[in-house]
Amino acid sequence: MEKKENPFLIIACIFGMTAVIFGAFGAHGFKNMLLDNQIDMGRIDIYNKAVQYQFYHTFALFISILIPNANTKIKKFSSWFFIIGILFFSGSLYLLAIRDFISIPLTIVGPLTPIGGMFFIMGWSSLLLAIIKR
């Protein structure tokens, strides 16, 4: 019988791959777009923070999946929290950084960043709980 792949591992690989792609775009294309359109270069810092936290929490997602002998049910919660955190936190920062190139109101995107941060905290605390309960 063939073993089914863990969907969390697939998602973690996709997040890692896109973090590299977004980081390369930020380093090479995004900066030029901002300069060409005379837009505040502080957006680079916001964009880089999004890439940075996407990487950190992609690794956290891998840890939550692969850590041996931890409570499986709680590890799944931790994985979901990291996934949602990446989407909300990093996703909202990406959108804030490129807001002049797309038409998304800041009132929709802005509140997602701290919500994503809370999911990161829940991910780390549930990972701790999964390890303690093993």
**For 77-117, how does the pLDDT look when each residue is reduced to its tens digit (9 = 90+)?**
999 999 999 999 999 999 998 887 887 777 878 889 999 99
Does 59 reside within a domain?
Answer: yes
Q: Look up residue 51 and give its amino acid.
A: V
What is the C-alpha to C-alpha distance for residues 43 and 8, in angstroms, rounded to an integer? Answer: 31
64: containing domain: 7-132
Q: Are 51 and 23 in contact (CB under 8 A)?
A: yes
What does the alpha-carbon distance between residue 119 and residue 13 come to, in Å, rounded to a whole number? 20
How many domains does the structure of the chain reveal?
1
Residue 51 belongs to some domain of the structure: yes
Q: How many Cα atoms within 13 Å fall on the side-chain side of residue 80?
A: 6
Is 2 part of a structural domain of the chain? no
In a domain, 116, yes or no: yes
Within-domain flag for 44: yes
Phi, psi of 127 (to 5 degrees): -65, -45
The Cα 99–Cα 25 span in angstroms is 16
How would you label 107-127 residue by residue, b for 16+ Cβ within 10 Å and e otherwise?
eebeebbeebeebbebbbebb
Task: Tell me whether residue 38 is in a domain.
Answer: yes
What pLDDT shows up at residue 3? Answer: 63
- The predicted-structure confidence for 8-60, as pLDDT tens digits, reads as follows 999 999 999 999 999 998 888 887 787 777 778 788 899 999 999 999 999 99
Is residue 1 in some structural domain? no
Answer whether residue 65 is part of any domain. Answer: yes
* Model pLDDT, residue 133: 84
